[in-house]
Amino acid sequence: MDELAECDAVIFGSPTYMGGVAAQFKAFADASSESWYYQKWAGKIAAGFTSGGAMNGDQSMTLQYLQTLASQHGMMWVGLDKISNSGEQNLNRYGVQGGIVAQGGEDGQLHASDVATAEYLGKRVAMLVNKLSTR
């Protein structure tokens, strides 16, 4: 947890299991209570991603959990600024503004546009960190 206190931004991620974060991520979140108490992550930028096996396996619930955790820690959440163009090859193909929602195929591989959307969000977070650090 101490390493995260030194970061300018944190991008949280968890697969979606049974409509929520995986048990391993929940254990991490529960273990962050000392950081929460002392607001060690306050003012940092946060974003999130999740993946599931179904096209809509309630991944938005996982993103909502990640966003709530970040807010409790006093972090500033960054979502996507790309509207969905409703195309399989476009960024943000699911039209989720709160973060990255991806679907794993039968072979476990992510769709190329989901990977491109994740890369875009990572660059967006880095750009915002740079923008805020120069003020």
Q: What is the pLDDT, as a whole number, of residue 87? A: 65
- Determine the Cα–Cα distance for residues 114 and 37; give it in Å rounded to an integer: 35
Percent of the chain whose pLDDT exceeds 90: 65
Helical ranges in the chain per DSSP H: 2-5, 23-31, 33-37, 59-72, 112-133
How many folded domains does the chain comprise?
Answer: 1
DSSP code at position 109: P
- Determine the Cα–Cα distance for residues 11 and 128; give it in Å rounded to an integer: 13
pTM of the model: 0.90
Q: What is the pLDDT, as a whole number, of residue 57? A: 75
- Determine the Cα–Cα distance for residues 89 and 26; give it in Å rounded to an integer: 32
Burial of 93 (0-12, 13-18, 19+ CB in 10 A): buried
Which of 56 and 130 is assigned the larger pLDDT?
Answer: 130
List the CATH number of the domain containing 15: 3.40.50.360
Residue 55 pLDDT class (50, 70, 90 cuts): confident
Average confidence score pLDDT of the chain: 91
Residue 109 lies in domain: 2-133
Mean pLDDT of 51-73: 91
Q: Please write the tens of the pLDDT for every residue from 69-101.
A: 999 999 999 999 887 766 667 888 888 889 999
Q: What is the pLDDT, as a whole number, of residue 71? A: 98
Q: What residues form DSSP beta bridges with 110?
A: 104
- Cα–Cα distances (Å) from 11 to 44, 61, 69, 99, in that order, read 10, 17, 12, 10
